[in-house]
Amino acid sequence: MRKVVCIIVTVVSLALFSGRAHAQRYLPGMTGVELRGGFANGSKSPLNYYTGFAVSGYTKRANRWVVGAEYLQKNYGYRNVSLPRTQFTAEGGYYLKFLSDPSKTLFLSIGGSAMAGYETVNWGDRILYDGSRLLVKDAFVYGG
């Protein structure tokens, strides 16, 4: 069933967008919006998923800044229940163009970004239904 739905969505998408092709070309002042989502760790369960969005802006010299946010939820089985581990993260970064072709269709950029957020396990409830206690605590997460 899932395979049939994927094929139908692909065919409808191709039919809707088969007219003109639109490309993002690093034009000064251009803003791009990215929506993303999927299943975490290749899981076949819809319970492990992520979703997010990002906004990009382009400067006069074809440099790019990015700001975004993401939500991730993974469930772990414990006896007959599942325990959710959830992350809320935000990202910001800046990328410098260091190489492009004369027709401005290929760009290579180098840069960096920082990510910070919060991770919670079982929504902060450390005592389980059977009296067991989770040793892991909610925490702030960060990276670059």
Span 79-134, pLDDT tens digits: 888 889 999 999 999 999 888 888 777 888 999 999 999 999 999 999 899 999 99
pLDDT band for position 26 (cuts 50, 70, 90) = confident
Res 28: pLDDT: 82
Task: Please check whether residue 67 lies inside any domain of the structure.
Answer: yes
Structural domain includes residue 43: yes
Q: Which domain holds residue 41?
A: 21-143
In a domain, 10, yes or no: no
Cα(56)–Cα(33) distance, integer angstroms = 6
Q: Is the pTM of this model over 0.75?
A: no
Within a domain: residue 88? yes
Tell me whether residue 8 is in a domain. no
Residue 130 in any domain: the answer is: yes
User: How many domains does the structure of the chain reveal?
Assistant: 1
Nearest Cα to Cα of residue 64 among 23, 12, 28: 28
